[in-house]
Chains A and B, each alone.
Chain A
Amino acid sequence: MALRTEELMLNMGPQHPSTHGVLRMVVTLDGENVVDVQPDIGYLHSSVEKMMENRTYLQNIALVDRGMDYLSAMANEEVWVLACERLGKIEVPERARYIRTIMLELQRISSHLIWLGTFGIDLGAFTAFLWAMRERERIMDLFESATGGRLHHVYFRIGGVFEDLPEGWTDRCEEFCDYFLDRLPEYDELLTGNPIFLARTQGVGVLPLDTAIAMGASGPVARASGLAYDVRKAHPYEVYERVEFDIPVRSEGDCYARYLVRLEEMRQSVRIIRQCLERLPAGEIRSKVAVTLRLPKGEVYARTESPRGDLGIYLVSDGADRPYRVKIRAPAFSNLYALTEMMRGWKVADVIAILGSIDIVLSDVDR
């Protein structure tokens, strides 16, 4: 006689150390196998979009910093000022555009480092976390000396950046690039060659290309599934059309491919930073924009490649000094919904590995 079995509903989160924030996953288990996963979000909802309607365009820079993806504040500032500049047809000085590109790429490295460390912790490799933090600290120091903030910078302004780079900053940045490229092979030694890491990531949580596209996945998650799409190449902003870099693409679509794509992206970021530092022109860093800026009536959609993927802002203005409506297209939100497809059929122990591999930030998901 066959043993009668039942499916088990298991709540993971919202207070689970490995959910990277307050995410509740309702996991349906058949024994140890995952039958279904339903992510339950909204625990960190802060209604940023509504709050933005009550703040002026300048004040909103301080809000998108912390209201959205807090691990890549510069990327949020970038998409917001880009939307405002496109709607108001505001010129940005050349030097400011180079500085912004450098900052964005530094932010990408720092965000990927956090991901690398936490992904290591999810899989039981603690050393990688400490080392990633060590490298990230250098970037934080660079940010601190240029912007005054470590996580929340409020550095970009509509029509430029707040202040010029301090003296000697470019040398320190170049120093960091050398240092970082020296350090990167250490992660290969620690993780890429580690048999436990390989066994837990290779072939795990495969996201096929068509599913990735159907679910709206973007960024490293989509590129690890074989989608060679990067907003920096497809719709260049700032100076991305003038620098040379490659988009790392893998076709496997598993956790290991997502890991490799992000590692390679960090190398490409260093390449971009070096080119920008080389060509950094002198001159103005900010064009004259009033504190109480009034944008003309109209609407605009700006999109950027944040460390997590395709980050967009749809901005509607009615001619007042504050936006009429703002809609944020958060990359982590779309990536999170590819989770169910990735997890189905895997063991419960793989749930955390797969969740860790997509790099979500809950404040970006919930907004």
Chain B
Amino acid sequence: MSAEMMPHSDGRRSRMVRIVAGLVGLVVGLKSTLRAMFEPKVTVSYPLQKLNVSPRWHGLLALPIDPETDNDKCIICFQCERVCPDRCIHIEATGKAKDRLLTRFDIEMDKCCYCGLCVEVCPTEAIVFVPHYEASTYNRANLLYDLDDLHRATPKEPIATGIVKVRR
């Protein structure tokens, strides 16, 4: 604080007032931190405890296998490839009309921005989000998900392992 802001007249009294006000402020602040000490903890110890994510969670992408046809539901319409802002989906197919066969469905997860536009435009709900949020890897090549990887990422169970603490 600059010197001219302090009152010149009865400076001594004002100093006392400030000291008292300061002490009161400190005690009030310490009181609320003390109160917080005895409240239940709001944190979880992450690798051991994990929180469940919401059903709409933008996690990893997957092409789940449909048990009826034993194949994914992709109809090779290329809509997700076109709508992707990062152009990280690559689709190739052989054959014509009804005999079309998916030969390549690659997602570069390192480019993906998890916007969910591909999930939104998919007419058959073939491409979906799975509640998986631990995709980090030591090798960049591991982030290229091909058709097998995308089939395997089907959410059979909540992928978060360890002691799962349910979110309040």
Contact = CB atoms under 8 A, between A and B. Distances in A.
Given A148-B57, A190-B32, A195-B22, A141 B117 contact: no
A79 interface: no
Interface string B121-138: 100000001000000000
Interface string A52-84: 000110111111011000000000000000000
Given A137-B42, A148-B129, A189-B32, A194 B26 contact: yes
A186 B33 CA distance: 9
Interface in B40-87: 42, 53-58, 79, 83-85
Query: Number of contact residues on B: which range applies?
Result: 35 or more
B56 to A, nearest CB: 4
B166 to A, nearest CB: 12
B167 interface: yes
A144 B59 CA distance: 11
A354 interface: no
A211 interface: no
A145 B117 contact: no
Contacts of A204: 1
Interface stretch (B94-102, B108-116, B139-147, B149-157): B108-116
B114 A194 contact: no
A35 to B, nearest CB: 16
A195 B21 contact: yes
- The 10 closest A-B CB pairs, nearest first, are A195-B22, A62-B115, A59-B85, A193-B25, A148-B56, A145-B54, A148-B58, A154-B115, A189-B32, A144-B54
Nearest to A55: B85
Given A137-B42, A154-B117, A195 B26 contact: yes
Interface in A135-174: 137, 141, 144-149, 152, 154, 162-163, 166
21 contacts: A58-B83, A59-B83, A60-B85, A61-B115, A66-B113, A131-B36, A134-B42, A144-B53, A147-B56, A148-B54, A148-B58, A154-B115, A154-B116, A162-B120, A166-B54, A194-B26, A195-B26, A198-B25, A199-B1, A204-B1, A291-B79
Contact of A195 (B5, B18, B85): B18
A149 B53 contact: no
Contact of A127 (B22, B33, B57, B121): B33
A202 interface: yes
B159 interface: no
B163 interface: no
A288 B79 CA distance: 18
B5 A149 contact: no
Given A162-B120, A195-B25, A186 B1 contact: no
Given A134-B42, A137-B42, A194-B26, A152 B54 contact: no
Interface of A: 55-56, 58-63, 65-66, 127, 131, 134, 137, 141, 144-149, 152, 154, 162-163, 166, 186, 189-190, 193-195, 198-199, 202-204, 291
A152 B114 contact: yes
A193 B129 contact: no
Contacts of A149: 58, 114
Nearest to B57: A148
Contacts of B83: 56, 58-59, 291
A342 to B, nearest CB: 14
A291 B121 contact: yes
Contacts of A131: 36
Given A134-B42, A141-B167, A166-B56, A189 B114 contact: no
B56 A193 contact: no
B117 A62 contact: yes
Contacts of A134: 42
Contacts of B57: 144, 148
B158 interface: no
Contacts of A162: 116, 120
A296 B22 CA distance: 62
Contact of B32 (A59, A146, A186): A186
Contacts of A148: 54, 56-58, 116, 129
Contacts of B93: none
B54 A193 contact: no
Nearest to B2: A203
Contacts of A190: 29, 32-33
B25 A146 contact: no
Interface string B1-14: 11001000000000
Contacts of A199: 1
A193 B28 contact: yes
A195 B2 CA distance: 16
B104 interface: no
B31 interface: yes
B24 interface: yes
B117 A193 contact: no
Most buried by B among A134, A149, A199: A149
